Amino acid sequence: MADTFAPQELLALASEAALAAGDLLQERFGGVRDVHSKSSPTDLVSDADVTAQRAIRELISAARPGDGFLAEEEGANIAGSSGLRWVVDPLDGTVNFLFGIPLWCVSIAVQDAAGTLAGVIYDPLRREAFAAVRGAELTINGEPPSPARARAASLDEALVATGFAYDAKVRGAQAEVIKGLISAVRDIRRCGAAALDLAWTAAGRFDAFFERTVKLWDTAAGTLLCECAGLEVHELVDRPGLPAGVLAAPPQFAAQLLELVG
């Protein structure tokens, strides 16, 4: 039987774990790392990823030992008994981290049977924690976001974020999608950290985001943030040469963007 819980308490735990992992990662940023490849030579993992994940796991399991846990590194997929599962990317943007590029983050979400209940994406270098619980508003460091500008009203005014696969053949297919999109929008950005892209989209820094080949740990927190910010979130289904993915965009042009990239 599922236990009782308060979403805000779960969010507080997620935030505590994200900040702890972020501080650990910040201490290691710019240093020499123990690095190896995963699915391809361009898909890298470091000792920092693994150390951060272990720190998150230890903190959460100490507070809630009955919860499940799904995370990117070390094949972590632990069934729980509480009805809740934590979905964690301890370091999203590993290549950026390893190359000294200051665009990476920690993403932690907690899910129940209905989907993501609470989530936080933490950017340690900017000390920004993007957080939300289901049905509530997005916050940044506990406050409502203050966008620098109004979100685009139409697709041709939109600044759209995206990302590319590790597999070279998939990247080639994605390039054809970008070729068809680039003249239909204001511009396109590729920052290399899907969770941070989603957080920035929720906050209004990007107008929309889409990416294929992302995993649940990349998107579980970020898609909730986007929904809480009033954006539509759509699945990108598999099609020849292009694996599944996700899209987040304002209602006024979500369907139009989906038609172009879906």
Which residues are bridge partners to 189 per DSSP? 161
Please list the ranges in the chain whose pLDDT falls under 50. Answer: 1-2, 42-44
Which CATH number does the domain housing residue 252 bear? 3.40.190.80
Coil, strand, or helix at residue 200?
helix
pLDDT at 224: 98
Q: Which domain covers residue 183, as residue numbers?
A: 155-261
pLDDT at 2: 47
pLDDT at 3: 58
Domain count of the chain? Answer: 2
Measure Cα distances from 203 to 32, 141, 211, 223 in Å: 33, 12, 18, 12
pLDDT at 5: 77
In a domain, 2, yes or no: no
Coil, strand, or helix at residue 64?
coil
pTM, two decimals, is 0.93
- Helices and strands: H and E segment counts in the chain: 7, 14
In a domain, 148, yes or no: no
In a domain, 67, yes or no: yes
Residues 164 and 251 in one domain: yes
DSSP letters for 203-246: TTSSSEEEEES--HHHHHHHHHHHHHTT-EEEEE--BTTB--EE
Domain stops at, among 111, 140, 169: 140
Write out pLDDT tens, residues 158-211. Answer: 999 999 999 999 999 999 999 999 999 999 999 999 999 999 999 999 999 999
Half-sphere exposure for 222 (CA within 13 Å, toward CB):
33
Domain stops at, among 82, 113, 140: 140
Domain stops at, among 140, 173, 196: 140
In a domain, 174, yes or no: yes
Which CATH number does the domain housing residue 134 bear? 3.30.540.10
Residue 51: exposure state from Cβ atoms within 10 A (0-12, 13-18, ≥19):
middle
